[in-house]
Structures are given as structure tokens and as C-alpha cells.
Amino acid sequence: MARSLKKSAPGPARPAAVPPGRDLPRSTALASPLDELNQSIVKMLQVDGRLPYKEIADALAVSEGTVRNRVNWMRQSGVLSIVAVADPTAIDYRADAMLGIKVAPGVAPSQVAERLAAFHQVVYILWVSGRYDLLVEIVCEAEEDFLTFVSEKIYEAEDVAGLEIMTGLAMFKNQFLLKRGFD
């Protein structure tokens, strides 16, 4: 009786890019932000996002392939994004502020957030509870750009009912780290 050397149902060795709305392959359970190894990898990448996988693997006593797979799985599942972040304290922007926005009645905060997200000056949008509906951070190169943006994109917009502009006086901490389980 001859045996086939082919595997009947190969499992995914590593996940392919998964379109939104589709379930991730089972192996991507290893992309969980609650996994201890993943947390250790992320902590190291937070210090230096260009750290070679071999150095991470050596420090964590795992194989380089394991680190590579874990990073790829976390990136593909949306848990991890490796980006360059300029230290805002080192960059002297002429105009930046946090905007407390009250959305107009009958308008969903997500609609205003989507409209504002299209502008490069907007670097942060958060739907919040309390006094405001949205907190929006904007950064501009010059004060006149800031005034133009606020006048044209906020005050003249029908989907905004109210605005409070909060400018920073002194920065005491600015930490771009994942907060849940990555302290």
C-alpha cells in the first residue's frame, strides 16, 4: 500500500494578510497582546523599534524565527505597528493645541472624527465622555496656519456645536506606549 507524503490539510505556518471582517487564522492566537512573550517583545521594540530579531531572541531565550513570527502575527492582526515617533519636546512647533469639541445635535461623533481625520494637521482624535464629545489634537507649523485651520475647519463647520481650545503650558510626560499589559 503506497503512502502519500503530502499533508492532507496543512495549517497556516504564518498568517496571510487578513481582510477586515474575516476571522484570523487560529495560529494568530499567538499574536495576543496578553501573551507574555509578545509583551516582552513589544517592550523591547518600544525602546528600539529597529532592534534586530536576533538580539530580541537572544535576550528572551527563544529562536529568531519565533520572534519574527510573533512580530509578523502581531502586525498583521493589528496589535502592533512599528513606526518612528519624533520626540515632541525636541520639535518646536509654533502652534499646537488640544481641542475639546461638542458635536452638533443630530450628528454622530464618528462623522466629525472622520471629517477631521482627513487633515494632516490632526494628529489625534478620541471620542470621550463628559463635557466634550471629541478631543482632537492639532499641530501646525505656524500660528497663522493654526488660526486658519480652526476658523475654516471647526468654527465654520455645521457639525460642530462648541469648541474649547486648550494649549499646553508645560509638558511633564509624553509616553507613546501601549497601556494595557505593557507597563
**How does pLDDT run across 142-176, given as a tens digit for each residue?**
889 999 999 999 999 999 999 999 988 877 776 65
Of the pLDDT bands very low, low, confident and very high (cuts 50, 70, 90), residue 114 is very high
pLDDT of 7 > 70? The answer is: no
Average pLDDT score over the chain: 78
The CATH architecture annotation of domain 26-76 reads Orthogonal Bundle (1.10)
**Residue extents of the structural domains in the chain:** 26-76, 95-166
Instruction: Report the percent of the chain where pLDDT is more than 70.
Output: 70
Q: Determine how many CB atoms are found less than 10 A away from the CB of residue 21.
A: 5
Of the pLDDT bands very low, low, confident and very high (cuts 50, 70, 90), residue 103 is very high
Of the pLDDT bands very low, low, confident and very high (cuts 50, 70, 90), residue 140 is confident
With contact defined as beta carbons under 8 Å apart, do 70 and 76 qualify?
Answer: no
Nearest-CA neighbor of 85 among 47, 126, 56, 42? Answer: 47
**DSSP type of residue 140:** E
In CATH, what number does 95-166 get? 3.30.70.920
pLDDT score, position 172:
77
